[in-house]
Structure formats: C-alpha cells, structure tokens
C-alpha cells in the first residue's frame, strides 16, 4: 500500500510540475540563457546567510530575504527543467538553499524572541534523515538524488508562509500572527517527517532491487 501511495504521489507531482512550469516559463523567458539556474540558487543561498547576523537586520529586512528566497525557489527549478539545464549538483543545491533559508529564519526569530528553541530542534530533526540520505548516495551509487514530491513542497510552503506571517506580525505588531505562523510551521514539521519517510523508503527499495535509482 505504501509503495502504491508513493508511486501515485510521484505521478501527481510530475503532472503538477509540468503544469506549473508551462505557466511560469512565459514570465521567466526574458532571463538570459547564460544566467544558469544554479547561479540563481547560489545567489539566494548567499543572501540567506544575512539571517545568521540577526542583530544587524530588522524584521522588514528578514521578510525581504524570505520573499527573495521564495521567488528564487520558484524560478531556478522552472528554468532548469525548461531549458534542459538540470544538473545533479543543482538537485542537491536547491533543497540545501531552502534548508539554510529556513534555519536562518528560525535563528533570526529565536534571537529576537519570536520562537522557542524547541521549535528549531523540531524543524532540524527530520532534516537529519535527508543528510543521511545524501551520505548514503556517496557510499552507494545505486541511491539517486531524492526526487521532489508534493509532500516536500507542502512542507516548504508551510514553513515559509508560517515564517512570513510571524515576521509580518513582528513588523506590524500583530500578536495573533505568532499563533497562526507557528501552527503552519508545526504542520510543515509533520509534512517533513512524511517526506523523509518517502526518501527512506525509496532508498531501501532501490537497494533491495539491486538497481541504480533514476530520479526524474
């Protein structure tokens, strides 16, 4: 049952990706071809590092960094797929940029007293499974790069929308924003565990079948 559910989810993800790419590529077409998707990913990753200097920026700047990260995350993948510029390094770099942005936002919010330390731990913990998956890739070449899924995308959406609401609350002084934003982050944590379960299952299935994984 788990296998059929994951396979069905993979097909839905592929269909959703195709529709989204077809819609967004018209907007992104003016971006020069020589400006590769990995460049965009690297830029948003570097910009995210400013969040680890929380005493030097305010909530408005942190919110701007989040918006840049979201736009970059929507852009680089579409360009890579539509311009046939998908690389193994890019498949690794893109989710790492998301994780650095998420951890940076959490650190910023923690230093400014907007979230509890325990919440940071709950966000980081499921991502250790992803790190183990990457280590497994290096140790056994049959394991391929994790394939995107709607669950993983839902996790990222919950995190970033939740962080955004908390930051808006910090800027506008809306105390209710904390509860709404934290609730979305908690939902993201649950989706993160489901996504890691999918990664782990795919790795085990690949190793059991004795074949090389072929991620899309």
pLDDT digits (tens, 9 = 90+) for 21-51: 999 999 998 988 888 999 999 999 999 999 9
- Statement: residue 141 has pLDDT above 80: no
How many Å apart are CA 52 and CA 36, to the nearest integer? 26
Predicted local confidence at residue 210, as pLDDT:
62
pTM: 0.85
DSSP string, 152-187: HHHHHHHHHHHHHHHHHHHHHT-THHHHHHHHHHHH
Query: What is the chain's mean pLDDT, rounded?
Result: 87
CA 117 to chain centre: 21
Domain 2-209 has CATH 3.30.300.30: no
> Residue ranges per domain, the chain?
2-209
Q: Name the least confident of 56-60, 71-75, 147-151.
A: 147-151
């Amino acid at each position: 049952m788990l296998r059929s559910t994951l396979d069905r989810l993979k097909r839905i993800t592929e269909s959703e990706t195709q529709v989204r790419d077809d819609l967004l590529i018209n907007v992104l077409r003016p971006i020069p071809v020589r400006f590769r998707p990995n460049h965009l990913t690297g830029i948003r990753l570097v910009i995210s590092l400013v969040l680890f200097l929380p005493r030097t920026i305010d909530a408005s700047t942190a919110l701007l960094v989040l918006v840049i990260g979201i736009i970059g995350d929507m852009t680089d993948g579409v360009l890579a797929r539509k311009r046939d510029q998908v690389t193994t390094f890019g498949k690794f770099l893109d989710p790492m940029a998301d994780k650095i942005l998420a951890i940076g936002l959490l650190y910023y919010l923690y230093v400014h007293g907007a979230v509890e330390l325990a919440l940071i731990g709950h966000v980081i913990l499921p991502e250790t499974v992803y790190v183990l998956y990457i280590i497994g890739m290096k140790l056994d070449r049959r394991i391929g790069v994790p394939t995107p899924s709607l669950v993983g995308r839902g996790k990222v959406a919950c995190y970033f929308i939740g962080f955004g609401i908390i930051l808006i609350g910090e800027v506008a002084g809306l105390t209710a924003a904390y509860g709404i934003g934290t609730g979305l982050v908690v939902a993201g944590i649950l989706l993160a565990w489901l996504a890691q379960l999918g990664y782990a299952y795919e790795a085990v299935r690949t190793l059991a079948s004795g074949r090389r994984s072929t991620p899309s």
